[in-house]
Structure 1
Amino acid sequence: MPDYSFRMAEKSSGVQSLERTFSLLERLADAGGEASISELAALSGLPMPTIHRLIRTLVSLGYVRQNTNRRYALGARLIRLGEHASMQFGTAARPLLAELVEEVGETANLAVLERDEVVYVAQVPSKHSMRMFTEVGRRVLPHGTGVGKAILAQMPVEDVRELLKRTGMPPYTEHTFTDADALIEHLALVREQGYAVDENEQEIGVRCVAVAIPGAPTPAAVSVSGPSGRLTLEAVARIAPAVRRAANALTSGLSH
């Protein structure tokens, strides 16, 4: 009879190697995209010989690179995978964004956090002649936009501080947060109320209300934006629950 036990063991070993490989990539991402072998061992709990073997394979494939300081970082080959996955996410979300536009009458957006930047991956414009338009694929720093603040509010404070150190906090307008302590204090309010508001921080004359998508595989948020004169604070209070429902619906869609 064929030795099925051997095949089962071989299959189990292969699955375990895959699980460990992806776990290692995730731990590397959790560390801010760069870590030493010893740090990866502490983060993953994997034996040092296993980490050495997996890292060598990932480096040879281009999914991890070794820097001159002998620390390891996420490799450029992951960028293409991430960008395609984000765009697929955006395509799948468009029907829900269209429903949101029908309900609130303003432009709806979907954005994800990639490499310390917010990337817009989908948009459905409003039917108003005066409306907001953000090009899909546009990248901005998270401290100066509603979707970015909604995403940052869900992250541990220390991770937010590290991100802000890496990116800096340049002002997009006179209303943009440029002080880390002030922004972190503001993010506590965002968490409490369940949504973020961009008050002319990315562009003068534009207001945006954004909600993080709970349980998304990558940090993401959905938003509604429009001219400040039409998207008043009273309108924000009315629209925010609809944006929250859209974010929850996107979560449900991702789980199927």
Structure 2
Amino acid sequence: MPTSSASSTDSARSSSNGGVQSLERAFDLLERMADAGGEVGLSELSASSGLPLPTIHRLMRTLVACGYVRQQPNRRYALGPRLIRLGESASRLLGTWARPYLARLVEETGETANMALLDGDEIVYVAQVPSKHSMRMFTEVGRRVLPHSTGVGKALLAGFPPEEVRALLARTGMPAATEKTITTADGFLAALEDVRRQGYAIDDNEQEIGVRCLAVPVPDSPTAAAISISGPAGRVTEAATEKIVPVLQQVAAELSRALASQNPA
């Protein structure tokens, strides 16, 4: 008499693209948890994924056993600490992939090029190629900053609904890094409107006096990412901006295609 359980049947079942269905479902649940802020209940996951509760419970039990999910005292589920190591390694690898594209930015613009991700409520820099000028900008890879005073932060948050941006700003606060830092939610949302209209973001002496930064998002990146150039305000002028922005946008599009090729459907 067959003894195959529903679990083993699910594990062996192939998905439409030749993969293992249970793995696809498990990763889909992890992404849904991340979209929900990192903590959810089984009924919420069932409603958003369309999967039956017994299937979700079985998958979550496996993820808990592996350390990728943990169950809270209130019976809800949260993303687990084992994901941190995977995320840090993936961020470093993403920075490695980006470096040739950042090097092109430096060659074509003459200014320091950066790549940054939105990690929770903070911006984290994952790659940099410095300018060849003697006067140049340095941002340590791994450095974390709040998004409201950076060009990359504006470029990334311009794609978010206003209510989500307000909630993020309420959590982080909006301390002034310089006298030009935007310190009100309304002012920041107005700046994001400018980003959407113009197609790029500007940090005009807002993170550091004497430094201007131009940034664009990387389209369709697997995680929210942006690239930027930064340099002395005397070099990154309005006239220079008109020449630099198309280069930024082109390199961002090429980087997006390269990342997509690393993650075939």
Where structure 2 has 5 or more consecutive residues not aligned to the other structure, the ranges are 1-7
SS of the residue aligned with 1:92? helix
Offset at residue 154 of structure 1 (A): 1.4
SS at match of 1:60: helix
Flag the 1:21–1:127 CA change in 2: closer, same or farther, 3 A: same
- Distance in 1, matches of 2:122 and 2:236, equals 25
* More off after superposition, 191-200 vs 28-37: 28-37
The letter of the residue matching 2:34 is: A
How far has the Cα of 1:11 moved from its partner? 4.0
Give secondary structure in 2 for the equivalent of 1:155.
coil
| TM-superposition CA deviations, 1:35-83 (whole Å, max 9, x none) | 2222222222221122222222212222112334433222111111111
144, 150, 153: which is aligned to 1:148?
153
Offset of residue 185 of structure 1: 2.2
Compute the TM-score of the two structures, normalised by the length of structure 2: 0.88
TM-score when normalising by structure 1: 0.91
Partner of 1:179: 184
**Residue-pair matches, total:** 251
Is the Cα contact below 8 Å between 2:29 and 2:45 reproduced in 1?
yes
Say whether 1:119 aligns with 2:119.
Answer: no
The letter for the 2-side match of 1:12 is: S
Alignment of 1:71-82 (within 5 A): 71-82=76-87
User: What residue in structure 1 maps to residue 141 of structure 2?
Assistant: 136
Measure, in 2, the Cα distance between the counterparts of 1:66 and 1:79: 17
Q: Secondary structure at the match of 2:178?
A: coil
Residue 14 of structure 2 is matched in structure 1 by 12
Percent identity for Structure 1 against Structure 2: 66
Distance 1:253 1:121 in 2: 17
Partner amino acid, structure 1, of 2:111: E
Task: Identify the residue that residue 3 of structure 1 maps to in structure 2.
Answer: none
Task: Output one character per residue of 1:71-106: Cα deviation in whole Å (capped at 9) or x when no partner.
Answer: 322211111111111111111111111111111110
The Cα RMSD (Å) is 2.0
5+ residue gaps, structure 1, are 1-5
Counterpart of 2:84, as a letter, is: I
Residue 51 of structure 2 corresponds to residue 46 of structure 1: yes
Shift of 1:30: 0.8
Partner letter of residue 229 of structure 2? Answer: V
Instruction: Write out aligned runs for 1:1-256 (5 A).
Output: 10-12=12-14, 15-256=20-261
